A and B are shown apart, each in its own frame.
Chain A
Amino acid sequence: MSEQRARLARGGRIDRSRICTFTFDGRTYTGCAGDTVASALLANGVHLVGRSFKLHRPRGIVGAGVDEPNALLTLRGGGRTEPNIQATMAELYDGLSAVSQNRWPSLALDALSINGLFSRFMPAGFYYKTFMGPTRGAWMWFEPAIRRAAGLGKAARERDPDRYEREHAFCDVLVVGAGPAGIAAALAAGRAGSRVLLLEQMATAGGALLDERTDSHAERWRSEHLAELEALDNVTLMTRTTVFGVYDGGVTGALERVHDHEPEPPRGQPRQRLWTVRAARTVFAAGSTERPLLFGDNDCPGVMLASAARRYLNHFGVLPGRRVVVHANNDSAYAAAGELRRAGAEVTVVDRREQPAPDVGAALRADSIELISGARVERAHGRHRVRAVTVADARGTRRLDCDLVCVAGGWSPNVHLASHLGHRPVYDARVGAFVPDTLPEGQFAVGTMTGELDDAGAVAVGWRAGLAAAGQTDDERAPAPPATAAASGWVHAHGNGEAPRGGPGKTFVDLQNDVTDRDVALAFREGYRSVEHLKRYTTLGMGTDQGRTSNINGLELMAGLRGQSIPETGTTTFRPPFTPVALGALVGRRTGRHFRPERRTPMHDCHRERGAEFVRAGQWLRPRYYPEHGADVDTAYVAEMRAVREAVGMVDVSTLGKIDVQGPDAPEFLNRVYANGWLKLAVGKARYGAMLRDDGLVFDDGTTSRLAEHRYFMTTTTAEAGPVMSWLEFLLDTAWPDLRVHVTSVSDQWAGVAVAGSSGGHVLAAALDGVDTSDDTLPPMGVRDATTDDGLPVRILRVSFSGERAYEVYTPAGYGAHLWERLMAAGQPHGIEPYGTEALGGLRIEKGHPAGPELDGRTTLDDLGLGRMARPNKPFVGDVLRHRPALESEDRRRLVGLQPVEPGARLRAGALVFPDGAPVEGHGIGHVTSVTWSPTLGHYVALALVAGGPAREGEIVAAASPVHGEHVRVQVVPGVFLDPEGERIHA
């Protein structure tokens, strides 16, 4: 176990009394509570933490937050494995294990670092120019190796044991970012009485104030104002909560990392929580990101942003280097230089400007810091850690030994969130950066995110935005700004007015994706000059850091090559999420069985107790067959069909859509929505109906019964229950508002059982309280209400889908299971058997009734042989367009029956129909839609849609199923295989 040799004895906001032990690449280290993995590694003098994506170059820690491009580690293990986690965002806990990525066999000795030697053969986009030969499929030969080399970490292959939550929040004012401007905005809105939500992505609120020393005035400002916020009941501050996306309607998405800073979530607690925040107004105070300066081999471990070095020093109490070169083009690095010096490091400042601000020179001299102005770092030296830099100025070059290089290239406002709604950021030449464009009403951007680097300005603007968001005018009680060490005044990022350029060695623009200045130049040379082409050709800015430290430098390089200004060159679009979001968090609890609610019928438990095999029909679970009837589905459904044909069976039809249609104009309404006529249907009678879409194709079918003068009970297919309901409502609301009709969905209110078979009437009679089920009182298509002998109210429809004497019995859903059991008991003496969807389908195929496979949204009434239903003398929905020429063409595919020439042959749904003897080529003349074994006929029967349809009756054709290797000769027959006269319904 090594010691924290770079940890300072005092200072910072970590807790030195709570030691955390952790491992990195198997080696054990210690850190303190409050550390990140990055700060703890630096405390232990560990700078080499990863290998780069393409060239496998050694890489260290560059930043201290979400801007980190390099230090991506794999945390935890097993089902909790998390690849590509920024060490700068991973909070340390006792027992944490982290491993480096993209290296083999070890971080120090990485075999693929050989890529570096061949890098000249792998410029940007090299893969577009090669791997094309020698054969056409050559790429498939090279690709696996490239895929293995690409990617970053390894993802888990086991299930995630943790749970996630999705929550909702509502507020008047959402403030994004708890830096000085965000705190001021939250305070202003909070004092004005608004419901305020202040979200901060880091573990500690304060933003850039955390870069300041704990004994500074800035720290006092931070703690005092946070305390006041905490005291306000109407203000909620959430840390570890990142706003990742801004969406329409004032909606933002935020991810709360509830227990990521602990080994695992406490029992029952979520790992992360995804918040959908609906805010009346939003204040963005997202801060800014420091820019690196470009020079040769600038990716060497130990090259770090100056602001990050301050964060490590002042927040984490870590001195990240003892011999430091601070390389700057503006004043903001001088605070880092002074503080590093006072913490005990030797410091040299290399300023690209000829004339740094006059008062800093004296301050540096007071701290014994050497200042080399008008000079630039040309190149870094060192393999696993920087050892020296070459500095060049007008007089020549010299070499400075060092173990840390702090770079300060100015600031890039974090404009991402403000541009998610399509408002492209605009270039502000005054501050040399992209800033948010004018935002829509209700959105404000404040603080350094707008290019305002001055603390007093940031607080004042934040305060005003907070007031405005709260609907207040100006207020005198604005807090005094924190006096931070940051130099006042925004300094142009590249103060010399020079375009960035690389140095000797390799100059990396995008560290994560290994994009160099030469790649940018190559993209320019080859014509990939628009920023989007640059990005896509070189992959600049497409890493997990979304190019926070690289985009602007790449853009400036391209602008320089094009000889254009930066605004002329443009910027790319920022996409959500701001930082990556785990899929698990987006899903919340909607996983496993909770993914899409399962719909069960009221009789579900009855089926389950009988051991039914269920089928998923949309969201419904329906009994497919009952294994008690046979060893497998094929034997069971045939037995179930036989029971219905020879005695009696019953099936759960609760999933059918049911709609209560009421009103004096209900007959007229039905007459319009159905193709057939409804004006003459008597009370107490049901009728089969088919409805069309406006385009004239069949939409749905079902039976509707007239319960009373003004009241109908409509049933729809299971699949279209919702769409039919919405369609009826649409017509009543928009097309026919004059019709006095109300429709109400009662699908969930009624459970239904169909009893089918010659003794069905006896079963019903036995269960009902003195109700006559004979043809006289309940003839086919008759409807009546009744009561069972044990008191259940039921509605009985004498309708048949199977072709047998059959009754649909409905009861309020809560009685469904009871009704099922009562009918089952009443049927015992008659040998009643339950049947599932397979037998239900088989029975209707024997009768030639079209169902789902035939009602596929592509068929007309004529196609289905139902053309005679359409009434010629009344208008109905779809009647006009169903007469379009192609829909009336003679060679349309129309419904027929098929039966095998060889009785033993098997038919397949999905087989294609070809003329007998024709080759199996193309679409053929039709296709088989539905197939069943017919126990009554002793062979397979099928329904098919065949060109010409019934005109082919008697013809021999072929049903081919190439995927089964089957080719069956079949005869075209009428679609009704059984009892074409319909006598059995009276049996």
Chain B
Amino acid sequence: MKRYSAWKLFTHALRGHKDWPEAWRAAEPKKHYDVVIVGGGGHGLATAYYLARNHGITNVAVLERGWIGGGNVGRNTTIVRSNYMIDGNTPFYEWSMKLWEGLSHDLNFNVMLSQRGHVMLAHSADQMQAHVRRANTMRAHGIDAEILSRDELRREVPDLDYSDEARFPIHGAIVQRRAGTARHDAVAWGYARAADRLGVDIIEHCEVTGFVEEGGRVTGVETTRGRIGAGAVGMAVAGHTSELARKAGLELPIESHVLQAFVTEGIKPLIDQVIVFGAGHFYISQSDKGGLVFGGDLDGYNSYAQRGNLPVVHNVAEIALAIAPHLSRLRLLRHWGGVMDMTMDGSPIIARTPLDRLYLNGGWCYGGFKATPASGWTFAHTIAHDAPHELNAPFTLDRFREGVQIDEGGSGPVPGHH
């Protein structure tokens, strides 16, 4: 295993880059693992990495039915932030943010965390007030948050439409400066490489077709590459959690919905921060390659098709021009869809299941990418200890039965509205 560094890059260049090793081995499945993680996305790979790194559990396999990082970790709009207001969410996402801040070093893989700031606009005095509670909650948790007036914002983000003629004039914003973006694919690859280095087997093109149970306890999985025994099984297949969990007889408070993402042609730097519209769902940032990356609402109906339809395309374009009219001639290069697990309160599930030694990580709604490090961290803890970490203790499967809804948006049990 070779470490990556500028010096290594230099010396390898002199040898024509001919002896870089594989970033991760194409492992063959063994008969039995201490832990099998189903799903080679960001969360599954992070879980495997932290199982090995934090808990010394290295006899671990990550099973991926396609190629690793092919789900939502490779389809999202790359935003990383921890500006959550509701109990349960705030400390969890802040821990994730802290892990992000050291992630490139920890993984020895540049995930290009770019803390360019996250600006959530307010379009009325009432919205400014609503931002105050969020900002106060963040500050009381030691998270950076600022409320900027329109004039202060204008100095920092000059290119928006500040005119009174705007349909939703800008009053100000809540800003988290430590927030920003990260290179999404690099997160999957970086975790894969680092997990592989610690002995984790990453097995692509291996689909789980069923669970092996003995006396109320999971002892393995059936796969397209044969039966694999497991001391514990963790599911991390957000988007398709219901389909997988059904094989274990679980019924979940989850619907699958399509969320579209969009990228424009590449241009020289135009938008520095992540900008979020306040009078509708829309967020935009510029990638290092130069494309503007943006997204908006769900398409609004259950779907497993990784593509969306025109109404949302129109809608996001309208909002983009509402806040930045000068983008009018810029061209949309691609739009695509990802399948989101939408829960009944908009918050995830990282928990034990009714089946012994089977664990569930899913229900990420919109929030999966930014949560990747903390999700892996706490899921690994939950599996290693057969008990939740303090940070994911609220994200149980049973909370709805008990009357606990971690509802950041106050939208109620309507998954498509979160």
Say whether A associates with B.
Answer: yes
Q: Judge whether B367 is part of the interface by a CB distance below 8 angstroms.
A: no
Q: Judge whether A173 is part of the interface by a CB distance below 8 angstroms.
A: no
Q: Assess the B410–A525 pair: CB atoms within 8 A.
A: no
Q: Assess the A582–B265 pair: CB atoms within 8 A.
A: no
- Complex CA–CA separation, A584 to B129 (angstroms): 33
Nearest CB to that of A911 among chain B residues? B136
- Complex CA–CA separation, A921 to B412 (angstroms): 28
- Complex CA–CA separation, A526 to B4 (angstroms): 13
Tell me the smallest distance from the CB of B91 to a CB of chain A, in Å.
8
Q: Assess the A963–B146 pair: CB atoms within 8 A.
A: yes
Nearest CB to that of A245 among chain B residues? B310
Q: Judge whether A80 is part of the interface by a CB distance below 8 angstroms.
A: yes
Q: Among B14, B309, B326, point to the contact of A157 (Cβ < 8 A).
A: B326
Stretch from A125-133, A283-291, A425-433, A553-561 forming part of the interface with B: A125-133
Q: Assess the A910–B129 pair: CB atoms within 8 A.
A: yes
Taking CB atoms, residues of chain A closer than 8 Å to B147 are 963
Q: Which of A561-583 contact B (CB under 8 A)?
A: 573, 575-577, 580-583
Tell me the smallest distance from the CB of A51 to a CB of chain B, in Å.
13
- Complex CA–CA separation, A544 to B334 (angstroms): 9
Q: Assess the A577–B110 pair: CB atoms within 8 A.
A: no
Q: Judge whether B322 is part of the interface by a CB distance below 8 angstroms.
A: yes
Q: Assess the B318–A587 pair: CB atoms within 8 A.
A: yes
Q: Judge whether B403 is part of the interface by a CB distance below 8 angstroms.
A: yes
Q: Assess the B330–A422 pair: CB atoms within 8 A.
A: no
Taking CB atoms, residues of chain A closer than 8 Å to B401 are 884
- Complex CA–CA separation, A448 to B212 (angstroms): 50
Q: How many A-B residue pairs have CB under 8 A?
A: 336
Q: Do A584 and B321 form a contact, CB below 8 Å, given A130-B6, A151-B290?
A: yes
Q: Judge whether A788 is part of the interface by a CB distance below 8 angstroms.
A: no
Give 1 or 0 for each of B6-29: 1 = CB within 8 Å of chain A CB: 101110011011101111111000
Stretch from A330-338, A532-540, A705-713, A973-981 forming part of the interface with B: A532-540
Nearest CB to that of A910 among chain B residues? B132
Q: Judge whether A276 is part of the interface by a CB distance below 8 angstroms.
A: yes
Q: Assess the B17–A123 pair: CB atoms within 8 A.
A: yes
Q: Assess the A584–B329 pair: CB atoms within 8 A.
A: yes
- Complex CA–CA separation, A526 to B135 (angstroms): 44
Choose among A132, A522, A532 the residue with the greatest number of B CB atoms under 10 Å from its CB: A132
Tell me the smallest distance from the CB of B57 to a CB of chain A, in Å.
24
- Complex CA–CA separation, A221 to B325 (angstroms): 46
Q: Judge whether B250 is part of the interface by a CB distance below 8 angstroms.
A: no
Give 1 or 0 for each of B300-336: 1 = CB within 8 Å of chain A CB: 0000011101100110011111100111111111111
Q: Judge whether B133 is part of the interface by a CB distance below 8 angstroms.
A: yes
Q: Judge whether A629 is part of the interface by a CB distance below 8 angstroms.
A: no
Tell me the smallest distance from the CB of A351 to a CB of chain B, in Å.
32
Q: Judge whether B387 is part of the interface by a CB distance below 8 angstroms.
A: no
Q: Assess the B140–A532 pair: CB atoms within 8 A.
A: no
Q: Judge whether A746 is part of the interface by a CB distance below 8 angstroms.
A: no
Q: Do A155 and B112 form a contact, CB below 8 Å, given A525-B22, A530-B67?
A: no
Taking CB atoms, residues of chain B closer than 8 Å to A858 are 405, 407, 410
- Complex CA–CA separation, A127 to B110 (angstroms): 7
Q: Assess the A132–B330 pair: CB atoms within 8 A.
A: no
Q: Judge whether B5 is part of the interface by a CB distance below 8 angstroms.
A: yes
Q: Assess the B413–A694 pair: CB atoms within 8 A.
A: yes
- Complex CA–CA separation, A580 to B266 (angstroms): 11
Q: Among B189, B288, B403, point to the contact of A143 (Cβ < 8 A).
A: B288
Give 1 or 0 for each of A882-899: 1 = CB within 8 Å of chain B CB: 001111100000000000
Give 1 or 0 for each of B338-377: 1 = CB within 8 Å of chain A CB: 0000000000000000000000000000000000000000
Taking CB atoms, residues of chain B closer than 8 Å to A421 are 307
Q: Judge whether A83 is part of the interface by a CB distance below 8 angstroms.
A: yes
- Complex CA–CA separation, A923 to B306 (angstroms): 38
Q: Do A525 and B20 form a contact, CB below 8 Å, given A128-B189, A581-B332?
A: yes
- Complex CA–CA separation, A166 to B90 (angstroms): 43
Q: Among A157, A596, A888, A910, point to the contact of B159 (Cβ < 8 A).
A: A157
Q: Assess the A923–B137 pair: CB atoms within 8 A.
A: yes
- Complex CA–CA separation, A963 to B309 (angstroms): 41
Q: Assess the A132–B108 pair: CB atoms within 8 A.
A: yes
Q: Assess the B104–A139 pair: CB atoms within 8 A.
A: yes
Taking CB atoms, residues of chain B closer than 8 Å to A583 are 264, 317, 320-321, 327-332
Q: Do A912 and B268 form a contact, CB below 8 Å, given A121-B10, A155-B327, A527-B23?
A: no
Q: Judge whether A234 is part of the interface by a CB distance below 8 angstroms.
A: no
Q: Judge whether A908 is part of the interface by a CB distance below 8 angstroms.
A: yes
Q: Assess the B104–A963 pair: CB atoms within 8 A.
A: no
Tell me the smallest distance from the CB of A636 to a CB of chain B, in Å.
13
Q: Judge whether A790 is part of the interface by a CB distance below 8 angstroms.
A: no
Taking CB atoms, residues of chain A closer than 8 Å to B16 are 120, 518
Tell me the smallest distance from the CB of A535 to a CB of chain B, in Å.
10
Q: Which of B108-161 contact A (CB under 8 A)?
A: 108-110, 112-115, 123-126, 129-137, 139-142, 145-147, 159
Taking CB atoms, residues of chain B closer than 8 Å to A911 are 132-133, 136
Q: Judge whether A153 is part of the interface by a CB distance below 8 angstroms.
A: yes
Q: Do A139 and B113 form a contact, CB below 8 Å, given A157-B159, A533-B67, A962-B136?
A: yes
Q: Assess the A582–B335 pair: CB atoms within 8 A.
A: no
Choose among B4, B6, B69, B330 the residue with the greatest number of A CB atoms under 10 Å from its CB: B330
Q: Do A616 and B413 form a contact, CB below 8 Å, given A152-B290, A587-B328?
A: no
Nearest CB to that of B411 among chain A residues? A857
Nearest CB to that of B409 among chain A residues? A857
- Complex CA–CA separation, A128 to B26 (angstroms): 20
Q: Judge whether B281 is part of the interface by a CB distance below 8 angstroms.
A: no
Taking CB atoms, residues of chain A closer than 8 Å to B391 are none
Tell me the smallest distance from the CB of A785 to a CB of chain B, in Å.
35
Nearest CB to that of B317 among chain A residues? A586
Taking CB atoms, residues of chain B closer than 8 Å to A532 are 67, 70, 74
- Complex CA–CA separation, A922 to B399 (angstroms): 21
Q: Judge whether A184 is part of the interface by a CB distance below 8 angstroms.
A: no
Give 1 or 0 for each of A414-443: 1 = CB within 8 Å of chain B CB: 000000111000000000000000000000
- Complex CA–CA separation, A128 to B189 (angstroms): 10
Tell me the smallest distance from the CB of A877 to a CB of chain B, in Å.
13
Q: Assess the B133–A910 pair: CB atoms within 8 A.
A: yes
Taking CB atoms, residues of chain A closer than 8 Å to B204 are 530
Q: Do A615 and B125 form a contact, CB below 8 Å, given A130-B5, A577-B334, A961-B132?
A: yes
Nearest CB to that of B401 among chain A residues? A884
Tell me the smallest distance from the CB of A249 to a CB of chain B, in Å.
8
Q: Among B101, B136, B265, B402, point to the contact of A544 (Cβ < 8 A).
A: B265
Tell me the smallest distance from the CB of B370 to a CB of chain A, in Å.
17
- Complex CA–CA separation, A798 to B87 (angstroms): 41
Nearest CB to that of A272 among chain B residues? B329
Q: Judge whether B279 is part of the interface by a CB distance below 8 angstroms.
A: yes
Give 1 or 0 for each of B74-117: 1 = CB within 8 Å of chain A CB: 10000000000001001000000000011011001110111100
Q: Assess the B402–A127 pair: CB atoms within 8 A.
A: no
Q: Judge whether A81 is part of the interface by a CB distance below 8 angstroms.
A: yes
Taking CB atoms, residues of chain A closer than 8 Å to B266 are 53, 84, 150-152, 543-544
Q: Which of B141-185 contact A (CB under 8 A)?
A: 141-142, 145-147, 159, 165-168, 183, 185
Choose among A151, A422, A886 the residue with the greatest number of B CB atoms under 10 Å from its CB: A151
Q: Which of A389-421 contact B (CB under 8 A)?
A: 420-421
Q: Assess the B124–A856 pair: CB atoms within 8 A.
A: no
Q: Which of A157-210 contact B (CB under 8 A)?
A: 157-160, 162, 164, 166
Please list 28 pairs of residues, one from A and one from B, whose beta carbons are closer than 8 Å in the complex, sorted by A's number.
A84-B265, A128-B183, A128-B189, A128-B190, A130-B6, A130-B9, A132-B108, A152-B267, A158-B326, A160-B328, A276-B310, A518-B16, A530-B67, A544-B265, A546-B333, A583-B264, A583-B321, A583-B331, A591-B322, A616-B279, A695-B405, A857-B410, A858-B410, A885-B403, A912-B133, A921-B142, A963-B135, A963-B147
Interface residues, chain B, CB within 8 Å of chain A? 4-6, 8-10, 13-14, 16-18, 20-26, 66-67, 69-70, 74, 87, 90, 101-102, 104-105, 108-110, 112-115, 123-126, 129-137, 139-142, 145-147, 159, 165-168, 183, 185-186, 189-190, 204, 264-270, 279-280, 286, 288-290, 305-307, 309-310, 313-314, 317-322, 325-336, 399, 401-405, 407, 409-413
